Chains A and B, each alone.
Chain A
């Protein structure tokens, strides 16, 4: 098959994770074939392999193939049964009953039972575990196992996001009872591939799990090489050293797409980014100042400049296919006159406002974006100095100590709206490192947590977005595209990407030769 089989996407449709089909795509729908080891050039280094203790997208991308979750979501983020073949929720949202499938086996051959689910949930809830998704279980009071295939979760109060959050690997992946201590080095789960080995910073190996409950995957195994340098990764794909790589350097994407010997798949979105102001630092407590800076940014030019066009400008941070996404919120157009007028209303003379713009070198495109914005701020009579921080320094200064004036950040996969809006904009939100304090947003995000009606929740979250936009609490910048490049002999790419936009599901993939 030497056919040009590339996919294009994004921009054209905002209807969720869009896989635009190119002309030759049908050629790829060859019959799935069993066998072969797929060699994957992965863009990042994997870290702690304990699914409950890892927060990095890179590690989750690998572990997606080792674990499976109690429930799952489709591309519209509707919760679907998975390991639990059905679930009942009491009308008061205080009792969740999960009925487990009887044919689910762990990689050691033992059957998955209610005791394993109980152990998993209790392990995450126990503060001693320091699980990343600890907050999912904050309202869970007790776990009961009336029989081997039923788990009942009793809630102390209504916590509407609970079920959807269980579709995330960090909360919903079920591990065998008492396996916690080995998960960090030898993860064991009930997913389609067994973990074989890892050489830290270099490679990891997975092997097909023949007893996977949804049917054994096509591939014999996956050999993951961790190649963080984008050019080397791409060269590896071009020379055939890798069957597949993720994250093609955006500036090289057009050229790679034009290569008839490769398949390219782009999808939307991978993550979203925003510009942040520290609301506890004057004059950024003044919405007029924040809006003035917003008005100095040409969002489209910024996205083109920093992402080489590999994204879509947005005013709403909700996943585009989710119910709370609001396309009516439009990013502000660049308008220096209006920006200067707002600054003068706020009592700030041209040239008077100076600040430090902290960005992390962990995301090189943020550094580029900051430099572009700096030039616009200059034009608007505001002097910004860009300060580049390592990831450790950014986390320490901006995230933990909130010691910054202006910064920017991006987030992967916050598709669950409570996780997104409560965490980031509620005064008590875990991710509110900008000191945002807006009583209206607090009230709406609290109400959404207690609401049993999905439509009502979506309405509340849309109000939150509108408020964030009106008050310019932050400036939502863009959704960034995800990319995968593959050799022509890789099949099944259209189902590779998990609905969350970041994880890759290799059980759908096969090698034709």
Chain B
């Protein structure tokens, strides 16, 4: 059996397990979608009728089997609370999240790589301390903390950017960018820290090699040595990690999108959870899981292409 087919089978099993766990956990939470739909207008009669109508009175195993059966036929179902087809909701929200993830990846690379080089070149001096200190802060503190700090600084104090909201990149590109900026920076921060550390250590490794000494010996300027020769050799693993983190970023959007009220897939997942809307919870979590797993697989394959010493088995 090839590596790829084994990985794909493992994929399917993992996804199945994820749907089971999601289903069980969502059902363990207090309240159900019927209480959420009727809110403070519910009474025993309407509540019972609605639960019956939504199929919530069936045993959990039956509910799950029904859902899985439809899924295998390519039907994600209808959101119980918003009454829209789940597939349509995902389609409407995916672009928003894609903008966020790509933007944060670009921000992270744009800042982390120069910072990593700067730290490596000034190894163990104050510049390195600052760079490493920033990276440590980025890794150590959670997304939501940085999100709140950014809101306080850039939205509330400086009033440069909106603290929350979303605009469609197609209808209104300028506003779309202003809305996406703060959440993207928030998402980028911890990734930035990882990438900066990676760049720094890769650069240090390359800078200590003989060919760099040769470059310097033949009289190349510091800039040319670092950018043309050292960075070129150090950047590959950094970009690979960045790609790998794409999946991680996609997994982090629930908190960040909800914090900034940025209505993408992460926000939708949070809404679905708040409202105990099981078909929607299942679909959004499944989608995030698939993206995470596909990027991981993609990166593994990419490794073998970039570095012939790596073999997948």
Contacts and interface: CB of A to CB of B under 8 A. Distances in A.
Contacts, number: 120
Interface string A126-152: 011111111100000000000000000
Contacts of A199: 92, 168
Contact of B84 (A133, A200, A399): A200
B268 A201 contact: yes
A241 B42 CA distance: 37
Interface string A216-233: 000000000001110110
B45 A127 contact: yes
B268 to A, nearest CB: 7
A49 interface: yes
B166 interface: yes
B219 interface: no
Nearest to B38: A55
Contacts of B164: 228-229, 232
B82 A47 contact: yes
B35 A395 contact: yes
B15 to A, nearest CB: 25
A135 B162 CA distance: 44
B41 A202 contact: no
B261 A400 contact: no
A430 to B, nearest CB: 3
B50 interface: yes
Contacts of A135: 43, 45-46
Contacts of B93: 201
A399 B38 CA distance: 11
B156 to A, nearest CB: 8
Contacts of A1: none
A201 B46 contact: no
Interface residues of A, number: 44
Interface string B136-180: 000000000000000000010000001111101000000100000
A396 interface: yes
Contacts of A231: 155, 163
A133 B41 CA distance: 8
B165 A395 contact: no
B282 to A, nearest CB: 17
A108 interface: no
A359 B229 CA distance: 62
Interface string A374-404: 0000000000000000111101110110000
A409 B39 CA distance: 12
Interface stretch (B61-69, B187-195, B238-246, B269-277): B269-277
A48 B85 CA distance: 12
A355 interface: no
B311 to A, nearest CB: 46
Contacts of B165: 227, 229, 232
Contacts of B217: none
B267 A396 contact: no
B83 A49 contact: yes
B36 A392 contact: yes
A185 interface: yes
A308 interface: no
B106 to A, nearest CB: 24
A55 B81 contact: no
Contact of B53 (A48, A130, A229, A392): A130
Contacts of B46: 127, 130-132, 134-135
Contacts of A228: 164, 261
Contact of B30 (A130, A393, A409): A393
Given A228-B261, A390-B274, A53 B30 contact: no
Given A48-B37, A399-B42, A392 B275 contact: yes
B37 A409 contact: no
Nearest to A184: B83
A73 to B, nearest CB: 19
B7 to A, nearest CB: 34
B40 interface: yes
Residues of A contacting B: mostly: loop
A431 interface: yes
B99 interface: no
A55 B166 contact: no
B263 interface: yes
B84 A55 contact: no
B87 to A, nearest CB: 12
Given A48-B83, A127-B49, A395 B31 contact: yes
Interface string B42-75: 1111110110110000000000000000000000
Contacts of A235: 162
Given A132-B46, A400-B31, A202 B263 contact: yes
A128 B31 contact: no
Contacts of A232: 162-165, 261
B30 A397 contact: yes
Given A184-B83, A201-B267, A201-B271, A132 B38 contact: yes
B39 A56 contact: yes
A50 interface: yes
Contacts of A56: 39
A392 B81 contact: no
Nearest to B164: A229
Nearest to A131: B46
Contacts of B267: 201
Contacts of B92: 199-200, 202
A231 B261 CA distance: 12
Contacts of B263: 201-202
Ordered nearest first, which 7 A-B pairs have the shortest CB separation? A430-B43, A184-B83, A396-B31, A130-B50, A55-B41, A229-B164, A396-B30
Interface of B: 29-31, 34-47, 49-50, 52-53, 81-85, 89, 92-93, 155, 162-166, 168, 175, 261, 263, 267-268, 271, 274-276
14 contacts: A50-B83, A55-B37, A132-B38, A135-B45, A135-B46, A184-B83, A200-B82, A202-B92, A232-B162, A392-B276, A396-B30, A399-B42, A411-B40, A430-B42
Given A45-B271, A395-B36, 13 more contacts: A48-B82, A55-B37, A127-B45, A129-B49, A130-B50, A131-B46, A132-B38, A227-B165, A235-B162, A392-B275, A395-B39, A400-B47, A411-B40
Interface of A: 45, 47-50, 53-56, 127-135, 184-185, 199-202, 227-229, 231-232, 235, 241, 390-393, 395-397, 399-400, 409, 411, 430-431
